[in-house]
Amino acid sequence: MSVSLAFLGDGLVAGGQWDEWFPEHDVHNLALSGNTTDEVIEQLDQVIELRPDAIVIGVGTNDLGWRKSDEYVVRNLETILHTLRRALPETRIMVQSVLPRDREFAPIIRSINRHIWQYAPTQHVQYLDLWPALALPDGELDPALGIDRLHLNPAGYAAWLSELKPGLEILFERPPSTTSIPIQHA
């Protein structure tokens, strides 16, 4: 059964050959090189209008290049997930961890990923942790998987895909959410 699958995010996501890797699905790669979480928020109406069966989100690393705080990135990611869940209750949504890059960013990326891992279930969103497949123990992108300390080479995309494919299988096995859990502010 073919489903529509939208990819949303930054240049790392934009660089994926998702239509080739998922030929059984109707793939829409809406990711754009240079996108930060702010730009993804601006794209949400386009995604909502598309009404895909599933959405895969990967964004956040460019925010760090602009020296945004982990709190800033987390709040924007929460906005993205909550907005999509509220507007598309029958869409399956997966958010991926912010990918590793230069060692200096490891602590802030770990903080962002920890927060999103905790937040995703409140919006009935599946979290996919790509860190174990792509990072060295010190938190830097494995040099064998990148062309620099940020962008992936074919081996990096293969490692990503080896995690994403089973993650999507799990996502499609579960029924989509029909209601979101409201955010409670203290």
pLDDT, tens digit, for every residue of 128-149?
Answer: 999 999 999 999 999 999 999 8
Helix (H/G/I), strand (E/B), else coil: 69: coil
Structural domain spans, the chain? 4-173
pLDDT of amino acid 174 = 81
**Structural contact between residues 142 and 149, judged by C-beta atoms closer than 8 angstroms:** no
**Structural contact between residues 120 and 84, judged by C-beta atoms closer than 8 angstroms:** no
pLDDT band at 1 (very low <50, low <70, confident <90, very high): low
The amino acid present at 130, given as its one-letter code, is L
For residue 110, pLDDT beyond 60: yes
User: In this structure, what token pair is assigned to residue 135?
Assistant: 């990072």
Question: What's the predicted TM-score (pTM) here?
Answer: 0.92
**What CA–CA distance (Å, rounded) separates 117 from 141?**
20
For residue 112, pLDDT beyond 80: yes
pLDDT band at 186 (very low <50, low <70, confident <90, very high): very low
Q: 4-173: CATH homologous superfamily?
A: SGNH hydrolase (3.40.50.1110)
For residue 181, pLDDT beyond 60: no
pLDDT of amino acid 182 = 41
The amino acid present at 131, given as its one-letter code, is W
What's the per-residue H, E or C state across 117-151?
A: HHHHHHHCCEEECCHHHHECCCCEECHHHECCCCC
- Between residues 83 and 176, the one the model is more confident about: 83
pLDDT of amino acid 7 = 98
For residue 185, pLDDT beyond 50: no
**What CA–CA distance (Å, rounded) separates 32 from 9?**
7
pLDDT of amino acid 176 = 77
- Range 58-82 average pLDDT: 98
For residue 183, pLDDT beyond 70: no
Residue with tokens 């905790």: 118
pLDDT of amino acid 93 = 97
